[in-house]
Structure 1
């Protein structure tokens, strides 16, 4: 077996890396959550308006 002199490496245990927690800037998570809530409310209102329109449309058409 060939030996390589002078190339011994010291084996050290790996040091754990602690994650750095960086807060979101300008409350972007709250803004996203608020946007989702607003979008859901708009969809619910639009869906109810469409359902009411169709209900009245068929109600009026049923009388004639």
Structure 2
């Protein structure tokens, strides 16, 4: 027989999901990048650089 124990189901589920902190950080970076891009777009529109 094998000496290895099967992994618990909860451990398998944890490995397939992203950590919650990483998801929040990714969403924050996504939003911040779009806000920054909108700000630059606004500067070009107001400055007349089409």
Asked whether the two chains share a fold, i.e. TM above 0.5, the reply is yes
TM-score normalised according to structure 2 size: 0.64
Task: State the TM-score, normalizing by the size of structure 1.
Answer: 0.51
Larger Rg: 1
Gap regions ≥5 residues in structure 1: 1-12, 60-64
Structure 1's consecutive aligned runs of 4 or more residues displaced over 3 angstroms after TM superposition are: 13-17
Residue segments in structure 2 that go unaligned for 5+ positions in a row:
none
Q: CA RMSD in A?
A: 3.0
Greater fraction helix: 2
Structure with the bigger RCO (C-alpha within 8 Å, sep 6+) is 2
- How many residues in Structure 1 have an aligned counterpart in Structure 2? 44
